[in-house]
Amino acid sequence: MAKIQSKARRFFTTSEVARYCEVSNDGVLKWIKSGKLQAFATPGGHYRISAENFRGFLTLYAFPIQESFFGTATDSPRVTRVLIVDDEPDQREILMRRLREIDPTWVLDEAGDGYEAGIKIGTIRPDLVVLDLMMPGVDGLSLCRSIRANPDTRSMRVLAVTGDPGEQARARALQAGADLCLAKPIDFARLRHEVLRLLGRPAPRRAQPQQRV
């Protein structure tokens, strides 16, 4: 597909992106002009695509991610990574705090919209995505479908969160590929139990106070 890079790359040309995706250079330019692929123009008028934006594009549109192309190391010690995706900063902060209480060794990250989430999913490769379904732009359902459609991300666990307590909202989330859908406000004991279950961790020994997120 593409030649192996000897060190981590920060930016790519449209020609490099075209070779990676096995499309024409004009095809890449169409992606850029339509807003599907984020890029910037150099003073000479040539487009450059950041590694993060390219990873996000690959994730959203179900292209495989070849680490050798990006020149990133793959032999670093594995830690549990969780990504919280919600357009409301207060909700992200609450979830971040609750997840830290479950296990302070986890590496937590956050995204405020579906596009930013796509970039981070391709970059940090989270083990679990806690995903709000109702977001502007790329909504949670679309992002969930993209995660499941991509061979490199389909094994990620997805915990959907919604403000709609109805059964139809839950059914749509599961149909899109979520492993589980919880309605807000979320009971903390339930959140703890389900997160540990999805990550394959043992259940906590002591019951936690009943609190809601």
What does the pLDDT look like over 39-65, one tens digit per residue? 999 888 899 998 888 988 888 888 888
Note whether 90 and 27 are same-domain residues.
no
Residue 207 lies in a domain: no
Residue 212 lies in a domain: no
d(CA 177, CA 156): 10
Number of domains in the chain: 2
Note whether 63 and 97 are same-domain residues.
no
pLDDT higher at 64 or 9: 64
**pTM over the 0.75 mark:** no
C-alpha distances out from residue 119 to 65, 105, 112, 133, 174, Å: 12, 23, 12, 17, 23
CATH code of the domain covering residue 34: 1.10.1660.10
Rounded to an integer, what is the distance from CA 8 to the centroid of its chain?
A: 21
Note whether 139 and 91 are same-domain residues.
yes
Q: Write out pLDDT tens, residues 58-116.
A: 888 888 888 778 876 554 556 899 999 999 999 999 999 999 999 988 999 999 998 88
Q: Write out pLDDT tens, residues 160-187.
A: 999 888 899 999 999 999 999 999 888 9
- Long-range contacts made by residues 32-40, C-beta under 8 angstroms, separation at least 24? 36/61, 39/14
Average pLDDT (122-128) is 90
Q: List, in order, residues 6 or more apart from 179 with CB less than 8 Å away.
A: 157, 158, 159, 198
Q: Which of the listed residues 21, 37, 70 is the one where a domain comes to its end? A: 70
Note whether 31 and 89 are same-domain residues.
no
Residue 164 lies in a domain: yes
Note whether 86 and 174 are same-domain residues.
yes
pLDDT higher at 194 or 122: 194
The whole domain housing 39 covers: 11-70
Note whether 191 and 89 are same-domain residues.
yes
pLDDT higher at 84 or 212: 84
pLDDT for the residue 79: 80
pLDDT for the residue 70: 80
Residue 4 lies in a domain: no
Residue 104 lies in a domain: yes
Contact present, 144 and 131 (Cβ < 8 Å): yes
CATH code of the domain covering residue 191: 3.40.50.2300
Note whether 29 and 88 are same-domain residues.
no
Average pLDDT (143-162) is 92
Q: Which of the listed residues 70, 96, 112 is the one where a domain comes to its end? A: 70
Residue burial 33-68, b: 16+ Cβ < 10 Å; e: rest: eeeebbbeeeeeeebbbbbbbbbbbbbbebbebeee
Residue 124 lies in a domain: yes
Contact present, 186 and 101 (Cβ < 8 Å): no
pLDDT for the residue 119: 86
Note whether 25 and 117 are same-domain residues.
no
Note whether 122 and 173 are same-domain residues.
yes
Q: How many CA atoms lie within 13 A of 142 on its CB side?
A: 13
Note whether 139 and 64 are same-domain residues.
no
Q: Which of 3-7, 26-30, 165-169, 196-200 has the lowest mean pLDDT?
A: 3-7
Contact present, 84 and 96 (Cβ < 8 Å): yes
Q: Has residue 208 got a pLDDT over 60?
A: no
Residue 51 lies in a domain: yes
Contact present, 26 and 33 (Cβ < 8 Å): no
d(CA 141, CA 32): 24
Residue 186 lies in a domain: yes
Note whether 85 and 65 are same-domain residues.
no
pLDDT for the residue 137: 75
Please report, rounded to a whole number, the percentage of residues in the chain having pLDDT higher than 70: 87
Note whether 59 and 29 are same-domain residues.
yes
At 47 the three-state DSSP class reads strand
Please report, rounded to a whole number, the percentage of residues in the chain having pLDDT higher than 90: 53
Q: Has residue 213 got a pLDDT over 60?
A: no
Arithmetic mean of pLDDT over the chain: 86
